[in-house]
Amino acid sequence: MKIGIVGGTGNIGEGLALRLSNKHEIIIGSRTPEKACESIENTVRLLEERGISCSCIGSSNQEAVDRGDIVIISVPYKHLLPTLTPLSGFENKTVITPVNPMTKKDFFSHDPPKEGSAAMLIRSILPGNACIVAAFNNISAQKWKNLDEELDYSVAVCSDDEEAKKVVMNLVNEIPKLKAFNAGPLEMASVVEGITPLLLNIARYNKMRDVGIQFK
């Protein structure tokens, strides 16, 4: 499967490339393709040092959309609209959003758009036949790139398209220790996105690191 990652040079994008490129072709996108190529060089080097073969290339964000069967939107919420607005080609694509709208003051708080969630905002601006799936929202960005740590978390997956949801849940379950859970329609993404600032506050006020969730 070909997976394009828009804004793929951040911790989450690079972490996804590290953890998925041994099974899938990863296209890391960036506003600056040269930066994406540098990211890929680091990814390949880290995996080769562990004896892991991989398939990944660096590209522009538009090329990541064009080439991907699945497209992951891996950008901070404040950059979401400026990043997506110039892009095209999302028709009939499965689009994964781990984006969490929040603000940081003395603490973190959920700050959703009028649509109710980042996922619903993305649905409103992309073509109607794009399949939007919210997933990976509650995983610490710092843990993605640390291959010495397993991601022992539960992943809530929301979508109005059941087939796209199944595809994404299977993708989640390919990453060791991650376990996907069907969290219902895309409207539930507002609840899932709101958990992330809660986790950050728990970590901060209780002197913890990389707090996550598990459903048991």
Four-residue CA torsion sign, 91, 93, 94, 97: negative
41 pLDDT band (50/70/90 cuts)? Answer: confident
Give the chain's domain count. 1
Per-residue pLDDT of 47-73, as tens digits, reads 888 888 888 888 999 999 999 999 999
Q: What is the mean pLDDT of residues 117-128?
A: 97
Q: What is the mean pLDDT of residues 71-97?
A: 96
The angle subtended at Cα 117 by Cα 61 and Cα 136, nearest 5°, is: 60
In a domain, 110, yes or no: yes
DSSP-assigned letters across all residues of 45-82: HHHHHTT---EEEEEEHHHHHHH-SEEEE-S-GGGHHH
In a domain, 95, yes or no: yes
Q: What is the mean pLDDT of residues 129-144?
A: 93
Say if CB 186 and CB 119 are below 8 A apart: yes
Distance separating alpha carbons of residues 200 and 38, to the nearest angstrom:
30
- Per-residue pLDDT at 44 exceeds 90: no
In a domain, 214, yes or no: no
- Per-residue pLDDT at 187 exceeds 90: yes
Residues sharing a CB contact under 8 Å with residue 5, sequence separation 6 or more, in sequence order: 13, 16, 17, 26, 27, 28, 29, 64, 68, 71, 72, 74
pTM over 0.75: yes
pLDDT of the residue at 65: 97
pLDDT of the residue at 154: 97
Q: Please identify which residue in the block is written with the tokens 């996105």.
A: 193
Distance separating alpha carbons of residues 119 and 52, to the nearest angstrom:
33
pLDDT of the residue at 73: 97
In a domain, 212, yes or no: no
Count CB atoms within 10 A of the CB of residue 49: 9
In a domain, 211, yes or no: no
Residues sharing a CB contact under 8 Å with residue 80, sequence separation 6 or more, in sequence order: 73, 99, 118, 121, 122
CATH code, domain carrying 137? 3.40.50.720
pLDDT of the residue at 138: 95
- Residue numbers of the domain that contains 161: 2-205
Q: What is the mean pLDDT of residues 174-198?
A: 97
Say if CB 61 and CB 30 are below 8 A apart: yes
